[in-house]
Amino acid sequence: MRLRDWFFDLSIHQPMQRIVAECLRPQGSFDPHGVSEAHAPIDKAYGVLEQHLTGRQWVASTKFSTADCAAVPALFYGAIVHPFDDDLRNIRDYFERLVSQPSVKRAIEEALPYFQYFPYRERMPPRFLQG
């Protein structure tokens, strides 16, 4: 469980945060090269995850677990700033299973008031912007 948690945090969420942070930098201190570099580890992580999910419903167990909970923010925001390619069918299906979980639905609904502060809000799928 912890390995998968770390995978999502370090391989997807951390570089995704670098991309998001670029939007929050003051004028004149942008780092387009750093942002460009941040996409590469996400691509690599998506490839690893795509293979790992082959034949699996959940990332670390036969049931929804804390490892899947760790995947939610990384994939939720990752899909916005670094969308899944069309060939990542396992990840797309997994993401849909994640966001269909009642606890995840509730977390997204409770986060609605805070999405206004997310710099990439305009890229968020409308289904996540409705209560």
Q: SS3 for 84?
A: coil
- The sign of the dihedral angle between the CA atoms of 38, 83, 74, 50 is negative
Tell me how far the alpha carbon of residue 46 is from its chain's centroid: 10
At residue 11, does pLDDT exceed 80? yes
The domains found in the chain, sorted by start residue, are 2-128 (1.20.1050.10)
Q: Terminal CA-to-CA distance of the chain, rounded, Å?
A: 31
Q: Which residues 6+ apart lie within 8 Å of 1 measured at CB?
A: 60, 61, 65, 66, 67
Each residue of 19-66: pLDDT tens digit?
A: 998 888 888 888 888 888 999 999 999 999 999 999 999 999 999 999
Per-residue pLDDT at 24? 83
pLDDT in tens, 98-115: 999 999 999 999 999 999
pLDDT at 82 over 80: yes
